[in-house]
Structure 1
Amino acid sequence: AVLYNAWVLEAVLPTGLDPRHSYVSELYAADQPFHLLFGGVEILTALLVATGILAWPPGARLPGDRTATAGRWALGVFALASVADVIVPMRCAPSVNHACEMVNPWHTATSALVHAGLFVSMGLLVAAAVARGGRTRWPPLRRRGPWVLAAALLTALATVGPLFGRPGWHGLPQRAHLVLVGVWLVLLAASLRAEHRTARE
């Protein structure tokens, strides 16, 4: 959750990008001075998410487990696509270089996969949290997950203006979106920790 929001470092690093009007992925565009730093943090975040998936506590068999398993592997797609997002970065930062293409086909495709994996995972895991046959499980995710999912979806949709030739002010909703993803990861970790504790008891 913390590493996924490493973009806050732009407050102290001379990135040359305006956070109001730039995508976070521009921080690790190929021609940017800190692309190795931000790209490396993105990969490290994906590795930590993958580690969490492999260490997923088995718990007891309850209604919704198949949905939870599907959500778990969708989270794996999110992690893998995040690595691909760094491997095929933007060639340059379009918010400061107007000769740079706004839509890089490969990077746009990997970013779409990141969001697909994220939202499918969020939807499935929220569904698994509330479809428990009346039994209480994953209370943090069950209570707050639907609200975080809805807000994350709205902020993500608010970032697509540049893809349709309407750039400007997309940086703020994207950064809000990343904060919400961080909140989501905290809720998920808290829920899984509670499940692991219950399974041990």
Structure 2
Amino acid sequence: MERALPGRTFALGPRPHPEQDPPVPNVPNPTRTGARTVYEPVVTPTTRYAGREATAAFLFAVAALLYNWWLLEFRLRTGLDPRHSYVSELYAADQPLRHLFGGLESGCALLVITGALLARSTPAGHGRWARTGWLALVGLGLSSLADVILPMTCAPSVEPGCVAVHPWHTATSAFAHFFLFASMATLSRAAAVQRPPMPLVRRWGPRVLAVAMPAAILTIGPLIGHPGWHGIPQRAHLTLVGVWFALLAWELGRSARRRRRWAGHWDGPWERYVEGLRRVWRTEPAGRGNGPGPERGGPERGGPERSGAELDGPERGGQETAGPG
């Protein structure tokens, strides 16, 4: 929509949120009275959240690796068969390595909680869907901590008298799965309809959810009286959770890098871009003072040319007065 006034035409429209995208550099306008002639990037909206996003990205990247701590069972003697045992059996109350595996699970949960709270306080946490998704990740971390605080009393895969259903531990595991799938669904939705954009989450988030949920369903065999081979889908499910954390880490890191780039920390091709802007918007023409100087012995640019009559100096006079002899 445009409104026309005497001598002016301007467009009316919604003003963008200042934290949605890095703003266009504050390039001066030479047609306006009092315009600046020095390039000054806008730094306030872009640098405010870059540190939080970078920290959250690092935490989620570490959590993506630490969430698959179950790979250590192939190097340590646990006495459990990975094909027919739950991962939570590794830190059951009667297992010898419960402190090691329980500590790894708790550390991963704390990383997820801290990273989600940091991301929630950035533009990536604006909007209804994004807020719900990051808070769901906080719920996932709290449920994982409760898993460690309320562990299984025994390992049902190797102890015949041990039941697979431990009410408190089963409840905390159910909450962890609920919050995990809620975060995948809501953050994938936020990446599709809100800003700032998260293209990897928008593309791969629904696919990870579509595979992780059936894998989790295949692990309930022992809970309904049909044990066996439930360890394989559970470990595949945990691998997909690590992929989900890696996607979040990549998007948060990309956003932090872009904010720092727009804040004036230019590198690579952006240096040439800034230099081009400076040359265009300077008061003097581009290239003045940077090109080659006047040729030696020739007249200076802009100076008056000397005529033949003005060459009555010693050179010409010497040629005329030179006599024979």
Give me the TM-score of the superposition, normalised by structure 2: 0.58
3-state SS of paired residue (2:189): helix
- Give the equivalent residue in structure 2 for 1:114: 176
**Which residue, 185, 197, 204 being the options, matches 1:123?**
185
Give me the TM-score of the superposition, normalised by structure 1: 0.93
Partner amino acid for 2:161?
Answer: A
**Which residue, 227, 231, 237 being the options, matches 1:177?**
237
Partner amino acid for 1:137?
Answer: P
2:94 is equivalent to residue 31 of structure 1: yes
Show the 5 A alignment for 1:74-113. Answer: 74-113=136-175
Kindly indicate which of the two structures has a greater share of residues assigned to helix: 1
Which structure's relative contact order is higher, taking Cα pairs within 8 Å and 6+ residues apart? 1
Mapped to 1, the partners of 2:188 and 2:105 lie a distance apart of 25
8 A Cα contact 2:68 2:242, kept in partner = yes
Shift of 1:95: 0.2
8 A Cα contact 2:117 2:138, kept in partner = no
Larger Cα Rg: Structure 1 or Structure 2? Answer: 2
Worse-matched range after superposition: 152-161 or 135-144: 135-144
8 A Cα contact 1:145 1:184, kept in partner = yes
Shift of 1:105: 0.2
Shift of 1:43: 0.3
- Give the equivalent residue in structure 2 for 1:190: 250
Mapped to 1, the partners of 2:225 and 2:123 lie a distance apart of 48
- Give the equivalent residue in structure 2 for 1:58: 122
Q: Deviations over 1:83-139 (max 9, x none)?
A: 00000000000000011111000000000011111111111001111113xx77111
How many equivalent residue pairs?
Answer: 197
Shift of 1:61: 8.6
8 A Cα contact 1:138 1:194, kept in partner = no
Structure 2 unaligned segments of length 5 or more: list them. 1-63, 263-325
3-state SS of paired residue (2:79): coil
2:42 is equivalent to residue 42 of structure 1: no
3-state SS of paired residue (1:182): helix
8 A Cα contact 2:200 2:251, kept in partner = yes
Worse-matched range after superposition: 139-148 or 167-176: 139-148
Please list every run of at least 4 consecutive aligned residues from structure 1 whose deviation after the TM superposition is greater than 6 angstroms. none
Give the aligned CA root-mean-square deviation in angstroms: 1.6
3-state SS of paired residue (1:55): helix
3-state SS of paired residue (1:191): helix
Mapped to 1, the partners of 2:154 and 2:125 lie a distance apart of 49
Shift of 1:14: 0.6
Worse-matched range after superposition: 113-122 or 187-196: 187-196
- Give the share of equivalent positions with the same residue, in percent: 58
8 A Cα contact 2:124 2:130, kept in partner = no
8 A Cα contact 1:82 1:114, kept in partner = yes
8 A Cα contact 1:137 1:195, kept in partner = no
Mapped to 2, the partners of 1:168 and 1:109 lie a distance apart of 21
Show the 5 A alignment for 1:125-164. Answer: 125-132=187-194, 137-164=197-224
Mapped to 2, the partners of 1:120 and 1:59 lie a distance apart of 20
